Chain A
Amino acid sequence: MTMRRIRTAATAVLVLCLALAGCGGGGASTAAGGKVTLRFTWWGNADRAARTEQAVAAFEKAHPDIDIQTSYSTYESYKQKLATQAAGGDVPDLIQLDYRQISQYAGSDVLLDLKTQRGTLPTKEMDPGLLKTGQVDGVQYALPMGVGTQAMAYDKAAWRKAGLAAPKPGWTWDDWVSAVRKLKAAGYERPMTDPGQMEDWFEVWLRGQGKRLYGEDGQAAFTAADLTRFWTFTSRLRKAGLVSSAEDTTQMAGGAVEDSPMGRKRAVAEFNWDAPSAGYEAMYGDRLALAPMPAGPDGTPGQYYKPSMLLGIAADSAHPREAARFIDFLLNSDKAADILGVDRGTPVNSHQRTRVLPTVTGFQQQVAGLQESLQGKLKDPPAAPPRGDNGLQSTFGRDYDQVSFEQASPREVAEDFLTEARTELRP
């Protein structure tokens, strides 16, 4: 009992500190008598916030007895805040989760078993394979909000100038290197952002060779030799002036598109996830295009369809039924689908998917087009990453700095990374 009390006290203080630090977002905070109030938190950028607020307003209009208080922040601070709230037993009613968080939250009794709300929240129009991504040990804890995939964002004008055709599904890493060489020959210095600093691209590269990041046992399924080869590959490109310099690559640490080499117009192509690539639109306008990720030597695709994010209900929520009604609105209704478009990835509800994809405009067409071109070509997504993977993702980038600034050899750093992986992963 005292243990619990101590925990609660400690985390209450942590939560307070975070609250004082000004993490709270804006939103309608009309506390009204007799109304059911739900708290909904997510991460994202200003564009997503505007669309989400619009969808929330539409829901509140249709359900005058329900009031939804929203707050959002960037992904890094969202992760930290939510973990602290979970420890303090103060989880918002509706929480957005990344695929990397689901094991942790489902395994700690933070999330409600959605079977209890089956009547309010039908899932029969959702793709069964994707529904699985929200399940842990056969229990549906969260629903995917959209489908995303890895992509290469690039500047069409540069591509044309180098005499290159738009990359097609199945192009290999070798094709990619020769494309980058042609861009350099066409006058673009360091045309591509160094992919060595993100675990996500390493995973695509691994899967292209028929390997994977994590095994069934929740431990790393690759060897130090695999990682050494990847980092040696990227280092060779960097030394040849084909990918961004260490000084430019390291500034991506915060994760904002504006800090990345392509976002700063230092590069003309960059790997990213499809929907978040909308961030480049402000800089490149119509010239922005999306291409599939390079595949393995025999054309094995490394990229996969991933739930771009999941939405769950807190186990402690006082109003699970109203929360379920809101999720149903966001994922299944025409109204919400029209407002959200493919901002959180393409709709999971197959009816909405066929209805919305042909109607999207601007950059969202690129997302829809990319996913259509890959339809039926990709392999199953990996199982949800094990607990502890969250921190490792940051370590990967941190470690790559050692390689790119040439403070240690790829092999030394790869071995360090695997040592840390063994202690951090808690399956």
Chain B
Amino acid sequence: MDKAAAPGALPRQRPAPAEQDRKRRPKREREGAAWVFLSPWVLGAVVLTLLPMAVSLYLSFTDYDLFDPPSWVGLRNYTQMFTEDPRLLRSVLNTLLYVVIAVPLQLALALAVALALKSMKRGKAFYRSAFYASSLLGASMSIALVWRALFNDGGTVDNVLGSLGLHTGGWINKPGWALLSVALLTVWQFGAPMVIFLAGLQQIPKELYEAAAVDGAGRWRQFVSITLPMLSPVLFFNLVLQTIQAFQVFTPAFAVSGGRGGPADSTLFYTLYLYDRGFTASHMGYASAMAWVLLIAIGIVTAVLFRTSRSWVFYANEEGR
């Protein structure tokens, strides 16, 4: 880039004494260049995120079927959600149940794998990458379809259990089991929290364990009294992140239930119902209102988590070391 021309492109450049100008110029140039490099992202954020969000907020106060122009209905979508939609209530309960099952299971698995990796002497980097990469696949549509085949009536899981004399006749086609099989698919996606746990584990000073060992603490005692408290900030971070994600679960349930959230609405999660209202029933206004309620609900849950964290998250540097 031409050095002299670049600052001129900035809209409000004051004529400054030559000396000062020479000092300032590099910084301004850097800022200008920064904006140039940021522009794809900024453009994306504004056009693809902020603008649609604003439009969706507007649509949430309208009746909009995609064909006729939206007509303003005030708060009707919101009141309807809370007063006359039993299926919505069902979807909220399903989602809460799912979060309560899937998040702890996923974090427990992530922590277990991280602990196993930490104690490895060799090949740690390889196994870390291997676990992480394969767990990313868990989020894909294709794996969700594989899941459907595995847990179906006559699928692999059914056959294996059947050969052990535990015939179940499939999981995803039974209202009592479908949600659990979708939750298991989420547990598979333990890679990201696992990597963060591993990083956290490596931060814990070895001396603490050595001192505990001298005092006669066993492995379990060490885990409860040292690892967990020292890891609690990382645990908290993972908990918040995974909870937020779990509330928005969509793909596995959509694929496993063929888009309907069945059987008998047992995997009808909030986002799935939102999609159904918007794209199948053509109630885009109602779907937008649902999206905003979800945003607020996730905000509240996160705030509550932060509030409770004061009593169980331990920050080592607070203790005035």
Contacts and interface: CB of A to CB of B under 8 A. Distances in A.
B264 A424 contact: no
B66 A84 contact: yes
B56 interface: yes
Interface of B is mostly: loop
Interface stretch (A6-14, A58-66, A220-228, A286-294): A6-14
24 contacts: A7-B69, A7-B70, A9-B51, A10-B56, A11-B66, A83-B279, A83-B282, A84-B279, A86-B67, A107-B67, A247-B169, A247-B174, A248-B153, A250-B263, A251-B152, A251-B173, A251-B258, A253-B262, A254-B258, A391-B280, A394-B276, A394-B280, A405-B264, A407-B264
Given A9-B55, A10-B56, A250-B173, A402 B262 contact: no
Contacts of B55: 6, 9-10
Nearest to B173: A247
A108 interface: yes
A10 B56 CA distance: 8
Contact of B263 (A16, A76, A247, A395): A247
Contacts of B173: 247-248, 250-251
Given A13-B51, A79-B280, A253-B257, 8 more contacts: A4-B69, A9-B55, A107-B67, A247-B173, A253-B259, A391-B281, A394-B281, A397-B260
Nearest to A82: B66
Interface string A243-277: 00011101101110001000010000000000000
Contacts of A407: 175, 264
A62 B109 CA distance: 63
Interface string B224-246: 00000000000000000000000
A155 to B, nearest CB: 19
Contact of A83 (B66, B69, B154, B259): B66
Nearest to A251: B173
A264 B154 contact: yes
Contacts of B70: 3, 7
Contacts of A315: none
Given A3-B70, A253-B257, A246 B65 contact: no
Contacts of A401: 175, 262-265
A9 B263 contact: no
A107 B282 CA distance: 15
A10 B52 contact: yes
A373 B66 CA distance: 42
Interface in A55-111: 76, 79-80, 83-84, 86-87, 104, 107-108, 110
Contacts of A390: 280-282
Given A250-B173, A254-B258, A264-B154, A87 B67 contact: yes
Given A247-B170, A401-B264, A104 B67 contact: yes
A13 B69 contact: no
A77 B144 CA distance: 17
A426 interface: yes
A398 interface: yes
A13 B45 CA distance: 12
Contacts of A76: 259
Contacts of B152: 251
A259 B58 contact: no
